[in-house]
Structure 1
Amino acid sequence: MTRLARWVRPPAWSGRIPWRRIGAATGVFAVSVAGLALGLYLCGATGVDVGPFRATMAVTPSLYGDTEVVLPPLGSLQLDSHDGPARLMVRLDALDRARTEALITDPAGITAASRTAVDDVRAGVTRLVLRTTAVAVLAAMLLAALVYRRMTRVAWSGGLALAVMMSAFGAAFGTFNPGALREPRYEGLLANAPSVMGNAQRIADRYDEYAAQLQKLVSNVGNLYATVQNLPVYSPEDDNLRVLHVSDLHLNPAAWGVIRTVVENFHIDVVVDTGDITDWGSEPEKAFVASIALLKVPYVYIRGNHDSPVTEAAVAAQPNAIVLDNKVVNVAGLTIAGIGDPRFTPDKGQEPAGEGQSKATLERVIGIGDRLADTIGRQPGDMVDLALVHDPTSAGPLAGYAPVVLAGHLHHREVRKLGDDETMLMVQGSTGGAGLRGLEGDKPTPLTMSVLYFDDNRMLMAYDDITVGGTGLAEVALSRHVVEDPSTSPAAQPGASPRPIPTRTR
């Protein structure tokens, strides 16, 4: 046999497993992965401008992949965008001051900024891939140098880290799902406000439409953040009492979902309902009020003109409900007085509304205000924190007996001072969108409710008016009103109300 043949012939299998080599290779791989993960955790994030936002992108190890878009303080969106061991996190940290001011002053600013959103995200992802790959390789080599102090194994660690990152990104791009925005999972305040994303059900499985949807997301959330910057300054304290005022649900089941969301996310202490929870007050409608028990906070209710004694009894049967009919109670630290409407007119044809009412009916409606004022007057202190009536026509006699009177019935919001300038009348719209009647006009009647904030002295400090678009719940709006000192505020003059600054998501 020639010398060359002996040199190229492979060594004979000895039958022994090379455990030392396997252990060494496993150790190098473990050090590489550990260094890679540590590098990504410490230095893997990169900043990027997305429309008006200053965003942070990061890659973290994961078993399932996916993308998380964090929108503080609203919550987050979980997108099934890809598979693999790399999870993409995008956090919208803040608005750039200069760009935000431009958005506010220029009506077309948000639209223009959103057009570049897709390019911004693409550039950010490219930068993130390059940065994380470099960081992972460098971190793996540094850790290997500390552990082994041998250049061969340091080089192997760097190569393995590069291979792992390329495999992870390759799996992500290979399994990329452009239709991920069709079925996002919402967490936090976004859990019940998917309108931020628009009508996601109509998105097709094509990247172009994915890009268009991303533009819409940036535009809508940009509107939300830009207008939040201008909300009147008031930060509710943790110990503030929070009252949710609802009225005129009119048998609309969609109202309960919105109410539950507000109760949970605004940490409501008590819900106040100023009547017309049903339409006809019939026996079958009793099942509708069972959702009261799901709220798990006190629910104070007075009867409206569409509610019968059957309805009132069904509400009273709920474990957390308190029915007021010319009574005064203390709930969650507030003294609340209320009285039911004297009429039962489910058929609107029986009695015209407003000024068209007969003199006898008008006297009855005003008379219950007198009765409730008399009941309050017999209480120690001669004043309560809240008074409840269904029809605002009944509120007049309560001037001076309560700083705040809540009412409904009109299906539109109204805030004004009663005659003595010390009592504020707050008329709620329809939390049920006026029921089926809300579909009679050109546009569905929106669902409305308000959150009232009371301080330690049980004084009303501010209130948020919440409006949810009618059929389809396609729009959500929040208006913050700060209640100023009546002695110094021009807004406290008769007939005036605080000027709202709306916040909208579509």
Structure 2
Amino acid sequence: MDGQRDERHDDAEDRGDPVTGGEPSRPERRRIARPGGPLRRTGVILAVLAVALAGAVLGVLAGGRVNTDIGPFRANLTLSPASDGGTTIDVPPLGALLLDSHSGPTHLTVRLGALDQGRTEALLDDPASISRASQSAVEDVRSGVMRLGLRTLGSAVLVTLILAGLIFRNVRRTAWAGGLALLVTAGSLGTAAATLRPQAIEEPRYEGLLVNAPAIVGDARRIANDYTKYAEQLQRIVGNVSQLYTTVSALPVLEPAPGTTRVLHVSDMHLNPTGWQLIRTVVEQFGIDVVIDTGDITDWGSEPEASFVGSISLLKKPYVFIRGNHDSGKTAAAVARQPNAIVLNNSTTTVAGLTIAGIGDPRFTPDKNTSPAGSGLTQEVADQVIGVGDQLAATVRSSPRPVNIALVHDPASAGPLAGTCPLVLAGHTHARQVSKLPQAAGQQPTALFVEGSTGGAGLRGLEGEKPTPLSMTVLYFDQQKMLQAYDDITVGGTGQAQVNLERHIVQDPNAGTPASVTPTPTR
């Protein structure tokens, strides 16, 4: 009899409340009023929520993918749960573009497959078809993403219903779990749509083989923040990749925008020969017009080290150099002997249409900071470091031609240059940083770009837990010699091969928060 009453109680629950079993009878209400009743109700609610979330995640992982055509490619679009959103365009075996396209909790991966035989033959026979095919890329992506969203919703709900049915064996609880899964999945997709940032395609981050980077990322032409320009950039990327897949002899040469000047900023080589290999690759693949080196090309400034600078002549591009605190007068003289090198010491030069002013570091301290501890600066040395900035500022102001770029080794020397020129390049700290120099009212804004170590800080780069990465920056100047964009290139330290390229568009020269610079300990 007791067993029959328990069965009737269970049946009454199933006929009642959708979560906890419905409206109980008076005896049952008395039972629920006991201490275990509210706990049971809470436990069931939490169980339904857990099953709904688990089902939604499993459904997205299982069904959140579609195959579609994007321009001339067969592509696979995949959605996956993520905390920070974003989009990855995977172009095997060339690398991947990472875009900050939207906020979480979903990440979109677009994997471009190889062209089929018929399309490949058509592209080879008629190169103009590449352009025509890429024109449809935007609509293809939009259609594919819509189908992906609907498929993901259906998969999330279906998997949740199956999972809840197996666990609860209760129609109403299963329906509630399915409804919650639909709400969670739709909310996630809605969040992605509401936070969509089409302009993110202006500043992609590239990971893969460095030689492919300029072809996949494209040129640095400034793109306005509207959908039309976004579409043009997407079409150009698709066109670039199409050319890569259909060119058998060499990678395509990208023509820069008319009048674009490309500058490669390197610093703190510290005798690492790997740095030269990386520089040569970037100079060739990115069509660099001039290389700027902000010092510490050697470690001790000794005469035997002078042979290290011989690789400068192999670049066959103008090489503008200033001395760092690890470079001696002999080092500077060895650089000056290279046929394509220009050594600046409180002087100016005009190269590739750019007027560049530079000054060497006032110190020669090759024995400093060979360990991570380093040492602070005395007031006398700090005054010297800031003093060279004053000297160069006077030279810039007296220059018969407006100076486009000023060079110092230690960023602490940059302060006096605020308002004298648009851009100051420095090194020394082995850490990349971009900031604005404090400016007085009426002065032009001045940006300070501090480069990391192109040589991975030499042997000292192996002293930490991880090798210091090799870093350099490609700067793009327009016809008026104003900075329009820059690519931060980072290669994993000694023994590593990871390559990262991050594109930055200079939107507003007045944007940004001014940052003060203090004298830097000797490195």
TM range (shorter): 0.5 to 0.7
Hey, what does 1:176 align to over in structure 2?
A: none
CA contact 1:438–1:445 (8 Å) conserved in 2: yes
Once the two structures are superposed, residues 467-490 of structure 1 have per-residue CA deviations (whole angstroms, 9 ceiling, x without a partner) of 011113411111111112234x4x
Structure 2 unaligned blocks of 5 or more: 1-71, 78-110, 120-135, 150-207, 214-237, 242-254, 517-523
AA aligned to 1:461 is: Q
Match of 1:57 among 116, 133, 140: 116
Match of 1:411 among 430, 444, 457: 430
Check 1:239–1:349 CA distance in 2 against 1; reply closer, same or farther (3 A cut).
closer
AA aligned to 2:420 is: Y
Measure the CA separation in 2 of the matches of 1:273 and 1:394: 16
Match of 1:97 among 130, 141, 144: 141
Measure the CA separation in 2 of the matches of 1:343 and 1:351: 18
CA contact 1:53–1:94 (8 Å) conserved in 2: no
Check 1:354–1:419 CA distance in 2 against 1; reply closer, same or farther (3 A cut).
farther
CA contact 1:263–1:295 (8 Å) conserved in 2: yes
AA aligned to 1:253 is: P
AA aligned to 1:452 is: L
Measure the CA separation in 2 of the matches of 1:414 and 1:308: 26
Once the two structures are superposed, residues 113-138 of structure 1 have per-residue CA deviations (whole angstroms, 9 ceiling, x without a partner) of xxxxxxxxxxxxxxxxxxxxxxxxxx
Measure the CA separation in 1 of the matches of 2:73 and 2:345: 59
Aligned 1:306-385 pairs, distance under 5 A:
306-348=326-368, 356-380=376-400, 383-385=402-404
Q: Does 1:400 align with 2:448?
A: no
Hey, what does 1:461 align to over in structure 2?
A: 484
CA contact 1:236–1:453 (8 Å) conserved in 2: no
Match of 1:270 among 275, 290, 301: 290
AA aligned to 2:470 is: L
CA drift of 1:448 comes to 0.4
Hey, what does 1:435 align to over in structure 2?
A: 458
CA drift of 1:55 comes to 2.7
Measure the CA separation in 2 of the matches of 1:272 and 1:314: 16
Aligned 1:28-427 pairs, distance under 5 A:
49=75, 52-58=111-117, 97=141, 192=211, 237-348=257-368, 356-380=376-400, 383-420=402-439, 422-427=445-450
Q: TM-score, normalised by structure 1?
A: 0.54
CA contact 1:250–1:279 (8 Å) conserved in 2: yes
Once the two structures are superposed, residues 438-458 of structure 1 have per-residue CA deviations (whole angstroms, 9 ceiling, x without a partner) of 111111110000011111111
CA drift of 1:353 comes to 8.8
Check 1:53–1:292 CA distance in 2 against 1; reply closer, same or farther (3 A cut).
same
AA aligned to 1:288 is: F
AA aligned to 1:414 is: Q
CA contact 2:371–2:460 (8 Å) conserved in 1: no
Measure the CA separation in 1 of the matches of 2:144 and 2:462: 38
Hey, what does 2:68 align to over in structure 1?
A: none
Hey, what does 1:14 align to over in structure 2?
A: none
Once the two structures are superposed, residues 146-169 of structure 1 have per-residue CA deviations (whole angstroms, 9 ceiling, x without a partner) of xxxxxxxxxxxxxxxxxxxxxxxx
AA aligned to 1:480 is: R
Hey, what does 2:182 align to over in structure 1?
A: none
Structure 1 unaligned blocks of 5 or more: 1-45, 61-92, 106-188, 195-221, 226-234, 497-506
Measure the CA separation in 2 of the matches of 1:49 and 1:246: 38
CA drift of 1:409 comes to 0.1
Match of 1:485 among 492, 508, 515: 508
Measure the CA separation in 2 of the matches of 1:243 and 1:295: 13
CA contact 2:335–2:343 (8 Å) conserved in 1: yes
Equivalenced residue count is 302
AA aligned to 2:295 is: G
CA drift of 1:375 comes to 1.3
Check 1:321–1:355 CA distance in 2 against 1; reply closer, same or farther (3 A cut).
same
Measure the CA separation in 1 of the matches of 2:421 and 2:374: 24
AA aligned to 1:484 is: Q
SS at match of 1:433: coil
Measure the CA separation in 1 of the matches of 2:210 and 2:371: 43
Measure the CA separation in 1 of the matches of 2:468 and 2:271: 14
**Share of identical aligned residues, percent?**
60
CA contact 2:211–2:285 (8 Å) conserved in 1: no
SS at match of 1:55: coil
